[in-house]
Chains A and B, each alone.
Chain A
Amino acid sequence: MLEEIGNNEDGDLVINVGPQHPATHGVLHLVITLNGETIKKVEPHLGYIHRSIEKMCESLTYRQFIYVTSRMDYLSSHINNHACALIIEKGMQIEVPPRAQVIRVLLDELTRIASHELWWGAMAMDLGAFTPFFHAFREREVINDIMEETCGARLTMNYMVPGGVLDDIHPNFIPSVKEFIKLYKRKIDEYAEMVTGNIIFQNRMKNVGILSAEDAISFGCSGPTLRACGVSCDVRKIYPYEIYNQLDFEEVLETSGDSFARYMVRIREMNQSVRIIEQLIDNIPEGEFQAKTKAVIKLPKSEFYQRVETARGEFGIYIVSEGGTTPYRIKFRSPGFSNLSALDHIARGGKIGDLVAMMGTLDLVIPDIDR
């Protein structure tokens, strides 16, 4: 049951943050117990945007369920779709043409940049700086336009299908991406000057929300949240899928585990994504963009698991198949759900004013948590 709002029997103040609050970025509801300004407990209440996607998928065919996954982590929808395509290809043993593989990785990395851009702007806004938000959206808009041209959608792309991609890339794709890379390289220094190097900003982030490597692993954190503690966990490196093992990029690691480390991991990760795009954009092989697949997909009676690295961390799909056209049971392991569970741990003992700095750097996307 919900705790009473107001003073509890220990004399601590219990307050609500959310479900409608600008700093929770969506309908996250936190019940916070405060002693003066010090946080004693943070208790997340979920479910405000729960759509029971797992149950819904049990009545959708393997071609249909991909479309629902775009609605979970809507900032990484390409990467979610990618995981679905990969798990079906694994089950059906479909060989994906090289052209499709390269296009997929290109789009994944563009998505990662777009997602981190949005996070960067929104997080700076949480900490009281409004201008970066517009700067981030200006660059993100360019990526969205590229996506719109090629995929036909700006947010929920549904462009990856079993066997490849839905359609060939738009003729403008390669020049537009190159244009974006040029623009991005000019702007990233501007970001550093405006926010990263800002002393006020640094003071608000450093030594705030410290998470030790051991705790982060125990809480099942992944992605930039875990890498900020110095633990190598990039799925692209450890369990490579598609063509990631042939690419030259670094896994970004920081060691301090505080909000600033999580911030730096994401900023540096964008540069790595650009590095991947630069390697591939001139080397898209000719050929088919989609392998020939059966019209009706039936996975063999077995169990499958596929993980990918989204912008927020390790996203996994677990499918139990009974050999039919629909999955018998499907489970989405969303990175945000596990990252959120660490919030109570890192916030305890901190100040209420720092809560947004902690939440902001966990990069929570609520539909991804609720599913």
Chain B
Amino acid sequence: MENQDLQLAITEIFPSAIFEEGSEWPTLTIEPDQWLSLAEQIRNQQTLWFDYMFCLTCVDWKTHLTMVYHLSSTKYRHNLVVKAKLDLAKPQIETISHIWRTAEFHEREVYEMFGVNFLHHPDLRLLILPDGWEGKNPLLKNFEDPINMIKL
């Protein structure tokens, strides 16, 4: 589907969706509590069929966090970006690791790097950081490490 048709199709199943202007792929922002139902619909609806999640990450905007999900379809080859704004004080969102299993690892990475709590994740533990890691989440903007320099 072309970007415009895709936008229309998603607005049909999800009337409250707001699309960003001027991006390469259709980009929509949703509320965190809407994510699970949207995910199920865009994954399973025959005309959309977003079965491939190729990127899952988070951005720290200092005032809030934004989850960014990049999806594509191996059947139709169209792409979609979904964003969800999270509260910095208590960042949490439903896991979608049962829909796209690649998310299990990616969510664990975001959990340790940004401190986002993925509700109902089957195994939310540290993945890359060493066991017993204390302190802040490394990819947050206010992270400072006096011992291991990460600024050049």
A217, B131: Cβ atoms under 8 Å?
A: no
A53 to B105, alpha carbons, bound, how many Å?
A: 18
A328 to B55, alpha carbons, bound, how many Å?
A: 17
On chain A, the residues within 8 Å of B102 by CB distance are 218-220, 338, 341
B131, A1: Cβ atoms under 8 Å?
A: yes
Q: Chain A 225-239, CB within 8 Å of chain B: the 1/0 string? A: 000000111000011
Q: Which residue of B lies closest to A329 (CB)?
A: B59
A302, B23: Cβ atoms under 8 Å?
A: yes
- The one of B25, B27, B60, B152 in contact with A329, judged by C-beta atoms closer than 8 angstroms, is B60
A331, B151: Cβ atoms under 8 Å?
A: no
Using A54-B139, A318-B68, A333-B54 as known contacts, say yes or no to A218 and B128 having CB atoms under 8 A apart.
no
Residues of A in contact (CB 8 Å), total 43
B128, A220: Cβ atoms under 8 Å?
A: no
A154 at the interface (CB under 8 A from B): no
On chain B, the residues within 8 Å of A45 by CB distance are 127
Using A220-B53, A320-B59, A329-B59 as known contacts, say yes or no to A370 and B128 having CB atoms under 8 A apart.
yes
A202 at the interface (CB under 8 A from B): no
A2, B131: Cβ atoms under 8 Å?
A: yes
- The one of A47, A231, A239, A333 in contact with B128, judged by C-beta atoms closer than 8 angstroms, is A47
Using A46-B128, A218-B51, A318-B68 as known contacts, say yes or no to A59 and B151 having CB atoms under 8 A apart.
yes
Chain A binding surface, main DSSP class: mixed
A-B contact count (CB 8 A): 88
Q: Chain A 304-322, CB within 8 Å of chain B: the 1/0 string? A: 1101000000101010100
B101, A314: Cβ atoms under 8 Å?
A: no
Residues of B in contact (CB 8 Å), total 35
On chain A, the residues within 8 Å of B152 by CB distance are 56, 59-60, 64
Q: How far is the CB of A333 from chain B (nearest CB, A)?
A: 5
On chain B, the residues within 8 Å of A331 by CB distance are 55, 57
Q: How far is the CB of B100 from chain A (nearest CB, A)?
A: 6
On chain B, the residues within 8 Å of A370 by CB distance are 128
B54, A316: Cβ atoms under 8 Å?
A: yes
| B residues 71-102 in Cβ contact with A at 8 Å | 74, 77, 100-102
Interface centre among B25, B74, B104, by most chain A C-beta atoms within 10 angstroms, is B74
B147 at the interface (CB under 8 A from A): no
B15 at the interface (CB under 8 A from A): no
Q: How far is the CB of B103 from chain A (nearest CB, A)?
A: 8
Using A305-B70, A318-B68, A329-B60 as known contacts, say yes or no to A56 and B55 having CB atoms under 8 A apart.
no
On chain B, the residues within 8 Å of A318 by CB distance are 55, 57, 68, 70
B100, A52: Cβ atoms under 8 Å?
A: no
Q: How far is the CB of A97 from chain B (nearest CB, A)?
A: 24
A341, B22: Cβ atoms under 8 Å?
A: no
Q: Which residue of A lies closest to B101 (CB)?
A: A218
On chain B, the residues within 8 Å of A329 by CB distance are 59-60
Q: Please list 20 pairs of residues, one from A and one from B, whose beta carbons are closer than 8 Å in the complex, sorted by A's number.
A: A47-B127, A52-B138, A55-B143, A56-B151, A60-B152, A215-B101, A217-B51, A217-B52, A218-B51, A220-B102, A305-B25, A316-B54, A318-B68, A320-B59, A329-B59, A333-B70, A337-B106, A340-B105, A341-B101, A341-B102
Known: A220-B54, A320-B59. 9 other contacts (CB 8 A): A46-B128, A50-B128, A302-B22, A305-B55, A316-B54, A333-B55, A337-B106, A341-B101, A345-B101
